[in-house]
A and B are shown apart, each in its own frame.
Chain A
Amino acid sequence: MSETTQQLILWLIPVAPLLSALITALAGPGALRYKSHLPCWTALAVSFVCSLILLFQILPSVSQPRTVASETTTSESAESVAIAPGVTAAVRPQVIAVGYEWFQVGTLNVRMDLRADSMTAIMLCMVTGVSLLVSMFGSGYMHHDPGYPRFFAAVSLFVFSMCMLVLAGSFLMLFVFWEAVGLCSYLLIGFWFQKPAAAAAAKKAFVVNRIGDFGLIIGIFLIWQTFGSLSFEEVFGGTALLNAVAETDPGRIQLICLCLFLGAMGKSAQFPLQVWLPDAMEGPTPVSALIHAATMVTAGVYLVARCTPLFVLAPGVQLFICATGAITAAIAALTALTQTDLKRVLAYSTVSQLGFMFMALGCGAAGPELVTAAVTAGMFHLFTHAYFKALLFLAAGSVMHAMGDVIDMRRFSGLKKALPITHWTFLAGAAALAGVPLLSGFWSKDDILAVIGEATHSAQYGTFFRVIQIVASITALLTAFYTFRAYFMTFWGEEKFPEEAGHHPHDASPVMAWPLGILAVCAVGIGLLTGPTHLFAGTLQRIQGLTAVETHGLHWGVMAVSSGIAIVGIGAAWFLYVLSPGIPASLAAGMKPLYLISNGKFFLDEIFQWIVVFPLRKLAALAVLFDRFVIDGIVDAVGMVPRALSVLPRQLHGGLVESYAGVMWVSVVAAVVVVLSLF
C-alpha cells in the first residue's frame, strides 16, 4: 500500500464523520429530514472500514521493515527485567499522517498531524464500530423525533471529535478535541432541552468536566514548560530528558501526572467527579450507550494509558489512581444496588467499571515490570466493556421504547415473553458484565484481578494492593449481583406493563434488533477471541512506552475465584429477586441507614451542593457587586474623560471641532515637551 493511500485512509477516518456532520447540519432540517441517518451511516461505515484497514493492514506493514531492529531491542529489554522507560526506546510501529502545516510564525510552528499506533487503531475500531451500530439503533429509537437531523449531526460530530482525540499526536490537539467531545456530550445530554432535567444535566456535566479540564490544561502547560514540546513523540520519546527530569525534579513529574489524572477523573467520572454521569442519562438512550458508556467516558483511561511513560515515573500518583479507582468502583457498585431506574443502574455500573480500569492502570506502581500488564489489562477492559455496556444500554433503550419511555423497574416486570430479542441480548450483556466464564467481561476482569494479584507481591506496596484486591473482589461480586438484580426485576416475575406502554408492547424493530444482535455476539465472543489468544495484548504492546511481554499462561486460580464470584452474585440475585422477592424489602427496612445511603447515592450531590455550589454562588454574588460598582465605575469614569476634555474647550470656544483640534494640539505640544525633557 503506497504512502499516499495510507495517508488518505488515515485522514478518511475522522473526515468522513465530519463531512456527514456538515451535510446533516446543512441539509438535515430541509432536504433530508427523516433520512438524516443516511450520511451518518455511510460515514461511520467508511470510518470503520478504514480503521480496520489501519489496524490489520497498515500498522503491521509499517512495522515490517523495522522488525529486525525492534526485535533485538525487545529481547534486550525483556532480558533486563527492570523495564525502565529508558530502555524502551525501541522503534515502535506507528503511522503519522502528515498533516497540514497550519501555521508557522517565528519560532512557533503549529501542525496538524494524525498519529496512529496500535492503541489508536484499537480505539478507532471500537469507537467507529460501536458508533455505527448505535447510529443504526438510533434511527429506530429516535424515529419521528422532531430533532432527528440534529441528533445525527451531533453524533457524527461526536465521532469526528472522538476519532481526532485518539488520533492526536500532541497534547494540544488532544486537548482541543477533548473539549470538542465534551461539547458534543453537552449538546446530546441536553438533546431534549425543553425538559428542565435534561438541560440541568447537560449543564452539570459541562461544569463538572471543567474542573477536570482545568487540571488537564495545567498539566499540559507544565509539560510544555518542562519538556519544551507538546508532541507525544518528543515528550515520551525523549527518554534521556524524561529520566533527567525524573531525577532532578521528581515533584514536577508527580504534579504533571496528578494534573493529567485530574482531567481523566472529570471525563471518566471518577470519585468525586462522578456525579455528572448518572444525570447524563437524561439524554437519548443511544447517546448514553455511545458517549456515556462506550467511548467518551473512556477517554480518561485512554489518556492515562497513553501517558504511561510519564506515569511510570510517578509511582505515588499511580497509587493515587489505583485508590481512586477502587473507591469509585466500590461506591458506584454500592449505589447501583438500590437504584430503581434501569438506566441509572447501568450508569453506576459504568462508573464502577471505569474505576476497575483505573485500578488496573494504577498497578504499575508495584514495579516497572508490571506496567505493561497493567496498561494492557486496563485497555482490554475498556475494549470489552465498550461492547457489552453499549449492548446493555441499547437493550435498556429497547425496553424504554417498548414501555413508552418508562424506565422505573418497579413499574414493569416479566418482559421476558413480550420482548424476546431484548431479553436475550440484555441477558448476554448482563452475563458479560457479571463476568460469567468465557464471556468477554470475564476475560478482561480476570486480567485486572490477575494484575492486582501480582501487585500484592510488591515488597513496598504489598499491603496497599491487598486492600485493593479485596475491594476489587467485593466490587466484582456486587457487580454480578446488581446486574442480575436489574435483569431479574425487568424480565422475570409476573408480566406487568405501565399504562404508557399501551396494551401490547412490541419488541425491537429490525433496525434496532440487528445492532443488538451484533453487539450481543461481540459481548459474548470478543473476549474469548482476543483475550486468551493474546491477540489484543500482542497488538497493543507495540506502542511507545510499553514492552511486549511474553505470553504468560492463563491465571487459573484467579479465573476460578472470579467465576465463583460471578456465580455467587448471580445466585444471590436470583435468590432475592426471583425465589423470595419479599426479602429485599425487609432487608431494606432492616438496614434503613445503609439503604438510604445507597439509595441516596451517598448524598454526594447534596454534599457538593453545600461545599461547592453554595459558596460559589455567594462568590458570584460578590463578583456581581464588584462588577456593578467597581468595574462599571471605572468604565463610566473613562467614559467621562473625553467629555470632560471637550467640555472645557467647548466652554471657551463654543464649537466642537475646535475643542477636538485643541485637544490634538495640546497633546502634540505635550508630547514634544515630554520627548525633549525625557530623552
Chain B
Amino acid sequence: MEPSSIIPPTIYDVINQATGLIIPEIILLATVCLMFLAGPFLVSETGQAPAGLRHRWGILSLLALSCAFVAWSNTSVVEPGAGPFRSDALVWYVRGLSLTAGILLTLLLWDQIDDGKAAEAHACLLAIIAGTNFVTIANDLVTVFLGLELVSIPTYVLLILPRRDWKAREATIKYFLLSIFSSALVLYGLSWVFGIAGTTNLTAIAARAADVQFDVDRGMFRIAMLLVIAGLSFRITAVPFHFYAPDVFQGVTSSSAAMLSFIPKLVGFSALLRLLSVSFGATSLAVWTPSEVVRFILAVLAIATMFVGNLLALRQTNILRLLAYSSIAHAGYMLVGLAVGANLSGTSGIAALLFYVAIYGVMTLGVFALLTAAGSFTSPIKMLSELSGLGRTQPVTALLMAVCVFGLSGLPPTGGFLGKLNLFLAAWSDGSTTSRVLAIVLAVNAVIGASYYLRMIGLMYLEPSSAEQSTGPAMTQPAALVAGMFCAAATLIVFVSPQWLWDAATLLAKS
C-alpha cells in the first residue's frame, strides 16, 4: 500500500489518519481486551462467580457501545484513498445499525448466560460488532476478509458459551464447519480479484475494473464475483446455502439465534454491496447496478430463497426453526433490492435494501427478545404451541410480540410494510423483465409469509393457554423485555415517520 499523494506523508501521519477512521471500533476492541483479560480473575477455578457478575459485564458492554455511539456521531465522510480504511455514507449507516443491534443483543444476552462465562460472551459480542463494522470500513481486500473472520470466530465461541448440552455443541460444530467452508469460498473469490487487479486496495481495484479491456478479464471477474456471492450467501442464508440455519437456530439459545438472524445478514449485504460495486468499477453505490450476469445470479438466489424460506416455514412446529426459515425468506426479500441495484429511473433498490435491513433488524431482534422475555432461562420457549394463550398470561409481552410479528409479515401499520413496499416499488419501477418478475414473486411471498406469522398471533390471542402458567407471569428477563419494547416501538415509529430512515438509506445511495 503506497500512499498516493505527492508529498509522501510520514508513517505516523498514515497511522494517525487510519486510526482516526476507526475510533468506535478501537473503543469496542479495547473493551474486548479488557474483558478477556480481567474476566478469568473474577471467576473461581471451578467456574463459580459472584451472583450478578453478568450484569456488571453487561453494563460495561453497554458503556462501551454508548461510547462507540458517541464516536460514531462525530465521524465524518472522507473520500476513500489508498489507506486501509474508508469512511463513507455506507460505513456511517452500517455502523449505526450494528451499534444499535449491539445494544439490543447485549440486552438479550443479559440473563442468558452464566455469571462465570459472562465476560467472554459479552466480549465476543462486542468483537462481532467491531468485525461487522470492519467489513464496511475496509478499503482493502485483506481488511474485508479480516473483518469477516472477526465476525465468524467470536461467533463460534458465542454459540457454545451459554450452553454445553450436546445440541448446542452439534449446532456450533455444524456452523463452524460450514462457515469455514464459506470463508474459503470468499477467500478464493478474493484471490481471483487480486489476481486480475494486481492490488488489494479497493479504490485501485475499482479503477482497474473500470477500464477492463479484455473479455478474459471480464470473464474472470464474473467467476470471482460468483465465488464471493456464493461464500457470502452462507452468511445471508440464501438458498442453497441456508441448510445450517434451522438446525443451528434450534440448537442455540434465543439470544445467539437473534444474533445469527441479523448480524451475518448485515455483514453479508454490506460486503456484497462493497465488493460487487468495486468489482464493476463503480465509483459510488449511487450509480452501481449489477451487470446482467450478476443480476441473473442474484435474481435466481432471491426467488429460490423467498420461496424455500416461506414454504418451509409453513410447516414448522419449533418456533426457532420457524424463525430460521423466516430469516431465510427475509434474506430473499433483501436480495431483490440488491438485484435491482441503484435504479436511476425510480426507487433505488440499494436504498430499499438498506431500509429493509434496518427495519428487519429491529423486527427480528424484537421477536427474539420477546421470545426470550416470555420464557425463562431454565425453560425457554421452544415450540410454537407454547405461545398459545400468551395474550392472556403475559399481555404486554404478547402485544409487543404481535407488533414485531406483524412487522415481519409486512402488514401496516408497521415499518415492515414500508420496507416491503419500497422493495416492491424499486423492483417494479426498474422496468426490466427480471425485476418485474422479482416484484411479483416478492408480493406472492409476502402473502405466503403472512399466513404463518398470523398463525403465531392467532396462537397467542385465540388459543387457550396450553401450559398452566400457574407460576405467574415470568418476568425473569426484564432486560430482554426492554429490548423488545424498543424494537416494537421502533417498528411502529418507522411506519409513522419513515422519512428520516429513508433519507439515511438514500444518502448513501446518492453520496
Contact = CB atoms under 8 A, between A and B. Distances in A.
Decide if A and B are genuine partners: yes
Contacts of A678: 293, 296
B498 A103 contact: yes
Interface stretch (A35-43, A518-526, A638-646): A638-646
Interface in A96-144: 101-108
A667 interface: yes
A667 B497 CA distance: 42
A667 B312 CA distance: 20
A642 B315 CA distance: 14
Contacts of B226: 668, 671-672, 675
Contact of A660 (B178, B307, B498): B178
B277 interface: no
A656 interface: yes
A638 B174 CA distance: 24
B37 interface: no
B195 to A, nearest CB: 16
A657 B177 contact: yes
A652 interface: no
Nearest to B188: A668
B363 to A, nearest CB: 18
A173 to B, nearest CB: 14
Nearest to B180: A661
A638 B312 contact: yes
Given A657-B174, A672-B223, A639 B243 contact: no
Given A108-B347, A668-B227, A675-B222, A101 B240 contact: no
A1 interface: no
B177 A638 contact: no
Contact of A668 (B230, B425, B497): B230
Nearest to A665: B181
A583 interface: no
Contacts of A211: none
Interface string B406-426: 000000000000100110011
Contacts, number: 94
B314 interface: yes
A656 B315 contact: no
A619 interface: no
Contact of A679 (B185, B222, B244, B315): B222
A106 B244 contact: no
Given A635-B315, A639-B315, A667-B240, A106 B429 contact: yes
B311 interface: yes
Contacts of B185: 668
Nearest to B314: A635
A663 interface: yes
A103 B497 CA distance: 8
A675 B240 contact: no
A103 B429 contact: no
Contact of B502 (A105, A638, A645): A105
Given A106-B429, A672-B226, A664 B347 contact: no
A153 to B, nearest CB: 16
A518 to B, nearest CB: 37
A101 B503 CA distance: 13
Nearest to B225: A675
B311 A675 contact: no
Q: What does DSSP make chain B's interface, helix, strand, loop or mixed?
A: helix
B204 interface: no
A664 B425 contact: no
A72 B265 CA distance: 65
A435 to B, nearest CB: 46
B307 A664 contact: no
Contacts of A108: 347, 425
Q: What does DSSP make chain A's interface, helix, strand, loop or mixed?
A: helix
Looking at B240, B297, B497, B502, the one whose CB has the most chain A CB atoms below 10 A away is B240
A642 B314 CA distance: 15
B125 interface: no
A473 B272 CA distance: 75
Interface in B283-336: 292-293, 296-297, 307-308, 311-312, 314-315
Interface string B219-255: 1001100110010001000001101100100000000
A208 to B, nearest CB: 25
A504 B227 CA distance: 89
A636 B315 CA distance: 9
A184 to B, nearest CB: 17
Interface string B174-215: 100110011001000000000000000000000000000000
Contacts of A672: 223, 226
Nearest to B503: A104
Contact of B307 (A636, A638, A671): A638
Contact of B243 (A634, A638, A646): A646
B276 to A, nearest CB: 14
A664 B177 CA distance: 12
B241 A664 contact: yes
Contacts of A634: 311
Contacts of B346: 106-107
A103 B227 contact: no
B181 A105 contact: no
Given A642-B243, A667-B241, A671-B226, A661 B312 contact: no
B470 interface: no
B306 to A, nearest CB: 12
B4 to A, nearest CB: 34
Nearest to B304: A667
A668 B185 CA distance: 9
Nearest to B246: A642
A671 B230 contact: yes
A276 to B, nearest CB: 26
A34 B339 CA distance: 58
A635 B347 contact: no
Contacts of B227: 668
A103 B502 CA distance: 9
Contacts of B293: 675, 678-679
B379 interface: no
10 contacts: A102-B498, A635-B311, A638-B311, A639-B315, A660-B244, A664-B178, A664-B181, A667-B241, A668-B226, A675-B222
The 9 A-B residue pairs with the shortest CB-CB distance, nearest first, are A106-B347, A660-B243, A638-B311, A106-B346, A668-B230, A679-B293, A667-B240, A657-B177, A103-B498
Given A105-B421, A656-B247, 13 more contacts: A101-B499, A106-B343, A106-B348, A106-B425, A106-B426, A635-B314, A638-B307, A661-B178, A664-B240, A675-B222, A675-B293, A676-B223, A678-B296
Interface of B: 173-174, 177-178, 181-182, 185, 219, 222-223, 226-227, 230, 234, 240-241, 243-244, 247, 292-293, 296-297, 307-308, 311-312, 314-315, 343, 346-348, 352, 418, 421-422, 425-426, 429, 497-499, 502
